[in-house]
């Protein structure tokens, strides 16, 4: 639960940075990863130096690099870009459809059968997302074009993050949860920084103090701490229970956005949130029944 709440603060810090400074998405993401990287490298070094450490094969190194960049480089970049156009509450609602995407990916890639209750859950989840949209989008408004574009970026982010979850689910049992997280996040940090060097002319050394404050807080509270909390939580209670507990994420974001960003909370958004959470709970229930 702590991990889910910490993860939900990311959107708040991003929106605060956009509101209070002129920082662009790529520079903000680069700073987040630069502040995060030392912690992941230290963790990776500690776990790799243990006597019972098992070295990665060349193929595992490649998979970890690709999956790490997919989950926290490409997904994060799309998320930061999308947050320029949508509220923090809507961002979290769109992102939280990723369990349905994981379900569909596993069905397509690994031929896992989808139960009737899971199909119902998928329908409820996307219906809830539409309800939430109705509270914010005006088809005739020019501003809605930006809203829809931002929503599309966040949806693609949810898709790439779902692919990360599917891939990591296959690798973690082989290499270990914390070791996987440390190296995958390290590769993602390097990917983000290389992207910044290639595409941006912005100097990271002469920015407003607020940018560094938000970036550092986002690195610690929204990246390093929750990534390990969730990993250790899954190890203790299992992925199904973790998915249920993680349902607090969208609710946490909406409350934090209301308090820190003065974002409005619409009745349809509350209804949509409730429907999405019901859908996720049903998916988790379906997975648990399948395991039993």
* Domains contained in the chain, number: 1
Torsion of the alpha carbons at 273, 274, 277 and 281, rounded to the nearest 10: -170
161-199 pLDDT per residue, tens: 888 888 888 888 888 888 888 999 999 999 999 999 999
DSSP 3-state assignment of 133? helix
Average pLDDT in the 223-248 region?
73
Which band of pLDDT confidence, cut at 50, 70 and 90, is reported for residue 23? very high
Residue 22 forms part of a structural domain: yes
Is residue 287 situated within a structural domain?
Answer: no
- Determine the straight-line distance between the first and last CA of the chain, rounded to whole angstroms: 24
Identify whether 271 is part of a domain.
Answer: no
Residue 136: the pLDDT is: 61
Cβ neighbours, 10 Å, residue 123: 14
Higher pLDDT, 126 or 28: 28
Name the residue among 29, 87, 39, 69 with its Cα closest to residue 226.
39
Q: What is the mean pLDDT of residues 143-169?
A: 87
Whether the CA torsion 263, 267, 268, 269 is positive or negative: it is: positive
Q: What is the pLDDT of residue 27?
A: 95
Domain housing 92: 2-45+56-101+142-259
Q: What is the pLDDT of residues 106-115, one digit of tens each?
A: 888 888 787 7
Calculate the average pLDDT of the chain: 84
Report how far residue 87's alpha carbon sits from residue 34's, in angstroms, rounded to the nearest whole number. Answer: 25
Q: Does a structural domain hold residue 131? A: no
Residue count of the chain:
292
Is 76 a domain residue? yes
pLDDT at position 245:
67
Residue 172 lies in a domain: yes
Q: Dmax over Cα atoms in the chain, in whole Å?
A: 64
pLDDT at 286 over 60: no
Quick: pLDDT tens for 219-229.
999 999 998 88
Kindly state the average pLDDT of the residues 267-286. 76
Q: Alpha carbon of 149 to those of 81, 116, 202: distances in Å?
A: 10, 32, 25
**pLDDT above 80 (res 147):** yes
Task: Give the pLDDT score at 26.
Answer: 95
41 within some domain? yes
What is residue 290's predicted lDDT score, i.e. its pLDDT? Answer: 47
Residue 132 domain-assigned? Answer: no
Q: Which long-range contacts (CB under 8 A, 24 or more apart) does 236-244 make?
A: 239/169, 239/287, 240/284, 240/287, 240/288, 240/291, 241/284, 243/99, 243/280, 243/283, 243/284, 243/287, 244/280, 244/281, 244/284
With a cut of 70, say whether residue 34 has pLDDT above it: yes
Number of Cα atoms under 13 Å in the Cβ half of residue 152: 6
Question: Tokens at residue 115, please?
Answer: 């139960």
């Amino acid at each position: 639960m702590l991990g889910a709440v910490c993860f939900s603060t990311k959107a708040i810090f991003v929106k605060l940075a956009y509101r209070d400074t002129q920082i662009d998405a790529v520079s903000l993401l680069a700073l987040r990863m630069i502040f995060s990287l030392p912690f992941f490298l230290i963790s990776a070094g500690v776990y790799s130096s243990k006597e019972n450490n098992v070295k990665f094969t060349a193929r595992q190194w490649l998979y970890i690099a690709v999956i790490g960049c997919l989950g926290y480089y490409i997904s994060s970049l799309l998320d930061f870009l999308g947050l320029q156009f949508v509220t923090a509450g809507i961002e979290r609602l769109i992102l939280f459809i990723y369990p349905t995407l994981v379900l569909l990916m596993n069905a397509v890639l690994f031929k896992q059968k989808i139960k009737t209750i899971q199909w119902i859950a998928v329908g409820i989840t996307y219906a809830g997302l539409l309800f939430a949209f109705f509270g914010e989008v005006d088809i005739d408004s020019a501003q809605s074009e930006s809203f829809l574009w931002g929503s599309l970026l966040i949806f693609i982010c949810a898709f790439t993050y779902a692919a990360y979850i599917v891939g990591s689910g296959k690798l973690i049992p082989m290499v270990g949860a914390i070791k996987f997280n440390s190296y995958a996040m390290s590769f993602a940090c390097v990917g983000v920084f290389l992207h910044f060097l290639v595409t941006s002319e912005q100097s990271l050394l002469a920015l407003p103090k607020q940018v560094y404050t938000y970036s550092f807080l986002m690195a610690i509270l929204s990246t390093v701490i929750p990534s390990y909390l969730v990993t250790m939580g899954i190890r203790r209670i299992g992925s199904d229970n973790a998915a249920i507990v993680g349902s607090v994420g969208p609710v946490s974001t909406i409350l934090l956005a209301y308090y820190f960003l003065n974002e409005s909370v619409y009745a349809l958004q509350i209804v949509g949130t409730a429907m999405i959470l019901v859908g996720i709970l049903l998916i988790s229930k379906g997975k648990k029944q399948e395991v039993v």
